[in-house]
Amino acid sequence: MNHYKLPEQRDFEHRIAGKNTHLITLENSRGVVVALSDFGARIVSLLVPDKYGTPTDVVLGFSHIQDYLTADEQYHGVTVGRFANRIANGRFTIDGETFYIEPNNGPNALHGGAAGFHKRVWDRRVVYKEKADFYYVAADGEEGFPGKLSVMVKYRLTDNNELVITYRAQTDKPTVINLTNHAYFNLNGEGNGDVLNHRLQIQATNYLPVDEFQIPAGVPAPVEDTPFDFRTPKLIGQDIRYADDQLAKGNGGYDHNYILDTEVLAKKLPVATAVSPTTGISLDVLTTEPGLQFYTGNFLSGKDVGKRGQPYGKHGAFCLETQHFPDSPNQPDFPTTLLMPGEVFQSETIYRFSIVK
Ligand code: BGC
C-alpha cells in the first residue's frame, strides 16, 4: 500500500460556482500537518506521527477536488451548517412563522439541506503554516433558513498537537444554528480497515435514543447497562453487534447524540478520547458544545475509494461531531439553537493528538 502523503495543491485548484478553490496546509514543529480546502471549509488530510514517528493520515478523504464532487455525499471533513444533524420533516417555527427545509434524508432535513455550507466555496485568510480562517455569508432564505448569516470558521494548529476549530456567526433575523465538523477519523490510518479495535471513552451519562427516522424520541436515557456506555474506555467493536433496537435504528451501529456531562464540560476536560492500539495515536476531543454525535460510519458503503486507493467501507471511520442536540428547533426541552440579531454565536472544539505507548 502507498505511503501517506499530502494531496497536491494543484489537484485542489478548481472553479466551483464561479469561485476558485484551493488547498491550504498548516504545519507545526512536531510533524503534524493539516490540509484544508475552502470547498466546504473542510479537513482533507491530517498527518500525525504514529508511535514510530511515521506520518499517518488519520482522516478519510480524497486526493482530488473532483472526487469530492462525484463521491457519495458523506460530508467528508466538512463544516456542517447552517444546521448540523436532523430537523424532523424539515420544518420548524420561529415566532409563529414556519420555515421549510427540503428533506434530503428520508422525511428529514439533514446537515443544513442538500446545498448546505459543505457545498459552498468559502473565502479564506491564511497565516502561513499556523492558521486558516474561512468566511461565508449565507443569504436570507438560503436552503429555507431565515436570516442573512455571516459565519467564520477558524482552524489553528498549535505546537501541542491541537487542531483548534472556532466558530462565530451573526444574523440579521432570528434564525437557528448548529455548526460542527464532520471529519471521519481512523487512527489506524485512513483506508486501513475498520475502527472496531479503537478504545473509546465518552464522558456522557445519558444519550438521546432515536425513532425510526433517527430523530430524538422522548426523553434522554441513561447509557448504563446499554451498548451506549463508554464512560469507562472500551473497544468501539465490543458491543456494536449487540442485538439492540437503538443500534439497529442507527443502521447497524452508533449514530447517536450523547449528552455530555456538565462537570466535564465546566472543567474543560476532554469529552471523548479514542486510541488506536496499532499506531498508538490518541485523539482527545474538547468542546464548548453540549452534545456529541458519535457515528461509526454505518452508511459508508465501500463505493468510495480514498486517498491511497482503499475503499471506505462500513465502520471504516468514526465521527465525533460536537454540536447542539438534533432537532433542537422542534424540541423545547433541549438547549436552544435560536440565534437573534445582535447576538454573537460562538463555539470551539479542539482535536488534540498524542501517543499512547
Ligand atoms: C449522521 C449520519 C449521517 C452522516 C452523513 C452523521 O452526522 O448522524 O446519520 O449518515 O452524518 O455522513
* Distance in angstroms (rounded) separating the CA atoms of residues 106 and 25: 37
Q: In sequence order, what are the residues at sequence separation of 6 or more whose Cβ sits closer than 8 angstroms to the Cβ of residue 336? A: 328
* Distance in angstroms (rounded) separating the CA atoms of residues 281 and 57: 11
Which pLDDT does position 291 carry in this prediction?
98
Q: Which residue in this structure is represented by grid cell 430523530?
A: 215
Which pLDDT does position 327 carry in this prediction?
98
User: Is residue 183 part of an annotated ligand binding site?
Assistant: yes
326 CA → ligand 1 middle, Å: 11
Would you say the CB of residue 295 lies under 6 angstroms from ligand 1?
yes
Would you say the CB of residue 304 lies under 6 angstroms from ligand 1?
no
256 CA → ligand 1 middle, Å: 9
26 CA → ligand 1 middle, Å: 27
Q: Is the pTM of this model over 0.95?
A: yes
Choice from 182, 215, 255 to test ligand 1 binding pocket (greatest atom count within 8 A of CB):
255
Active site residues: 182, 321
Which pLDDT does position 71 carry in this prediction?
86
**Among protein residues, the one whose CA lies closest to atom 9 of ligand 1:** 255
Choice from 73, 80, 111, 301 to test ligand 1 binding pocket (greatest atom count within 8 A of CB):
111
What domains sit in the chain, N to C, each tagged with a CATH number?
Answer: 9-184+340-348 (2.70.98.10), 199-338 (2.70.98.10)
Would you say the CB of residue 75 lies under 6 angstroms from ligand 1?
yes
Q: Are 337 and 177 a contacting pair, CB within 8 Å?
A: yes
Which pLDDT does position 222 carry in this prediction?
98
Choice from 78, 80, 83, 110 to test ligand 1 binding pocket (greatest atom count within 8 A of CB):
110
Walking along the chain (357 residues) 10 residues at a time, the average pLDDT comes out as: 88 97 98 98 98 97 96 93 98 98 98 97 95 98 98 98 98 98 98 98 98 94 98 98 97 98 98 98 98 98 95 98 98 97 98 95
295 CA → ligand 1 middle, Å: 7
68 CA → ligand 1 middle, Å: 16
Q: In sequence order, what are the residues at sequence separation of 6 or more whose Cβ sits closer than 8 angstroms to the Cβ of residue 95? A: 174
CA dihedral 197, 201, 205, 211 (to 10 degrees): -40
What beta strand segments (E) does 22-111 contain?
Answer: 23-27, 33-37, 42-49, 55-57, 79-80, 86-87, 91-94, 97-100, 109-110
User: Is residue 182 part of an annotated ligand binding site?
Assistant: yes
**Among protein residues, the one whose CA lies closest to atom 12 of ligand 1:** 74
User: Is residue 255 part of an annotated ligand binding site?
Assistant: yes
**Among protein residues, the one whose CA lies closest to atom 7 of ligand 1:** 85
Ligand 1: which atom is nearest the Cα of residue 214? 9
C-alpha cell at 81: 451548517
What is the Cα gyration radius of the chain?
A: 19
Would you say the CB of residue 293 lies under 6 angstroms from ligand 1?
yes
Give 205's Cβ-side CA count (13 Å radius).
Answer: 5
73 CA → ligand 1 middle, Å: 10
Ligand 1: which atom is nearest the Cα of residue 85? 7
User: Is residue 108 part of an annotated ligand binding site?
Assistant: no
User: Is residue 85 part of an annotated ligand binding site?
Assistant: yes
**DSSP bridge partners of 45:** 35
CA dihedral 340, 156, 163, 193 (to 10 degrees): 100
